[in-house]
Amino acid sequence: MADTQQATERAIAEWLTWEHPVPAQVWTEWTTHGVALVPLGKRFAAVRMPMDVVHAALDTDHPAQVASLLEQLLCGPIVYDRRVVGVTYYALILSNAELVWAHEEVAPCLGRGIYLGVPRIDRRTPPGTYWVVAPRYAGNLCAPHAVASLIETGRQRLIQSAELSLSEGPAVPWQPTS
């Protein structure tokens, strides 16, 4: 069983390195840093999903629940990164999906010319960049329509929450009584 798991992880890792013009560099970066910069746009793209949108869509910010729900809903690999643009989730999707992506303002689809920090396949917990949901097999990607649905749900919930806050009126600051 362990040999099968290792063989699967090796196949996934090799698939991830094929995106890079010098795959050996990815292996070196994984060994040295645990994360490698991999160019997007050939085999896969990545949707940059802000934490607040993801948590609103899932109605939780508990890490284990977020991971479980993302795995169930998106059925593909999700990278967690808190280094660059705040806390961000990256859903790996088909590279051609960026051509018709309709959620650029909320969750841009990153493709050709962009590099993503991709964690080593066994890096599945903090600190740093890690897999919230690791790829299950070489070529495993999230379905673009599922990612779009998650983003739209999160966006709508954030809008509703903001409207609710506005309808309650501004908070009245506390003032001491005389």
Q: Is the pTM of this model over 0.85?
A: yes
- pLDDT by residue (tens digit) across 71-108? 999 999 999 998 665 789 999 999 887 677 888 899 99
The set of residues, in sequence order, having a beta carbon less than 8 Å from that of 98 and lying 6+ positions away, is: 41, 45, 109, 110, 111
Residue whose structure tokens are 């991999």: 38
pLDDT at 165 over 70: no
Kindly state the greatest CA–CA separation across the chain.
Answer: 76
Torsional sign, CA 101, 103, 105, 106: negative
- pLDDT by residue (tens digit) across 131-142? 999 999 999 999
Angle between helices 51-58 and 63-74 in degrees, nearest 10: 80
> Per the structure block, which two tokens stand in for 87?
């806390």
Band (119; pLDDT cuts 50, 70, 90): very high
Please report the DSSP string for 82-131 in residue order. -SSSSSEEEEEEEGGGGGG---TTTSPEE-TT-EEEEE-TT--SSSSSEE
